[in-house]
Amino acid sequence: MKILDGKLTSAAQKREIAKKVAQLIDNDIRAPHLVAVLVGEDGASQTYVTAKEKACISVGMTSSVYRLPAKTTEKEVLEMVNFLNNDPDVDGFIVQLPLPKHIDEQKVIEAISPEKDVDGFHPVNVGKMVLGLDSYLPATPAGILEILKHYQIETEGKHCVVVGRSNIVGMPISIMMGQKRNPGNATVTLCHSKTRNLAEITRSADILIVAIGSPEFITAQMVKEGAVVIDVGIHRIADATTQSGFKLKGDVAFDEVAQKVSWITPVPGGVGPMTIAGLLANTLKAAQKNR
């Protein structure tokens, strides 16, 4: 078994991004500016937003975070989105999900200007992605393609099984892996909560991408010998033996699955850092396009 190292791969990608940011600045163009809007106190969201902020700074970009209280109304969030759409100092922005229950996420996503939608969640960007047109690719699926490319994993003609059909990961990666490109050209099966004989299908995967949101859901008996496994999940599991009192686990039971497969992403240090690099790549693209 070999590790698909997201930390290493994203560091290489970030070095390339940093060079391009420096070139913009050398040409007297201000640094790309990414804004994150965070509503409420969700712990995981705070961790993600802080990591995104640090990553921006590490490549020479400007990062701002608008932290709004959980009681912020939908109208106030929409006003913030409208303000950012029209702020010429902002190249791209994201509204961290999930939003508090009283806010309609889809309404907020649709209010974001597609030109500044560096998450690639707006229907215009999703539509362009499906058609293979130039767009902002959602960061996690883009990160998965990037790590497969970095390690020269053959995808053409392979059976790729995706477990989970979320708008953020499962749905877009299932489309992207089937598209005519490299990585891509795979034969894709999308599995979800209503799938019958799930283990039979996952066992037929040459490439298994898991984004189901359930800790250690995929066990050794659900994977084929020699498969390539991409684990998108990240969960804090209580563990008294660690100093922090928890351990990070993915959607894949790493210890047992790793013994059977050819390549696997660890958690942490796999897909997570690749997602952040994908967001930086989109922000750079926004800065280059929108000026």
Least Cβ distance, residue 239 to ligand GUN (angstroms): 23
* Catalytic status, residue 107: no
* Catalytic status, residue 247: no
By the criterion CB under 6 A, which residues form the site for ligand GUN?
A: 94-97, 119, 139-140, 168
Q: Which of 5, 91, 117, 119 is catalytic?
A: 119
In sign, the C-alpha dihedral spanning 283, 288, 289, 291 is: positive
- Of 141 and 266, nearer to ligand GUN (C-beta) is 141
d(CA 37, CA 44): 14
Least Cβ distance, residue 62 to ligand GUN (angstroms): 18
Least Cβ distance, residue 200 to ligand GUN (angstroms): 30
* Catalytic status, residue 119: yes
- Of 227 and 278, nearer to ligand GUN (C-beta) is 278
- Of 94 and 287, nearer to ligand GUN (C-beta) is 94
- Of 167 and 187, nearer to ligand GUN (C-beta) is 167
Least Cβ distance, residue 278 to ligand GUN (angstroms): 8
Least Cβ distance, residue 18 to ligand GUN (angstroms): 21
Q: What single string gives the DSSP state of each residue in the chain?
A: -EE--HHHHHHHHHHHHHHHHHHHHHTTPPPPEEEEEEES--HHHHHHHHHHHHHHHHTT-EEEEEEE-TT--HHHHHHHHHHHHT-TT-SEEEE-SSPPTTS-HHHHHHHS-GGGBTT--SHHHHHHHHHT-S-PPPHHHHHHHHHHHHTT---TT-EEEEE---TTTHHHHHHHHHSSSSS---EEEEE-TT-SSHHHHHTT-SEEEE----TT-B-GGGS-TT-EEEE---EEEE-TTSSSSEEEE-SB-HHHHHTT-SEE--SSSSHHHHHHHHHHHHHHHHHHHH-
- Of 24 and 209, nearer to ligand GUN (C-beta) is 209
Q: Which of 5, 13, 14, 52 is catalytic?
A: 52
- Annotated catalytic residues are 52, 96, 119
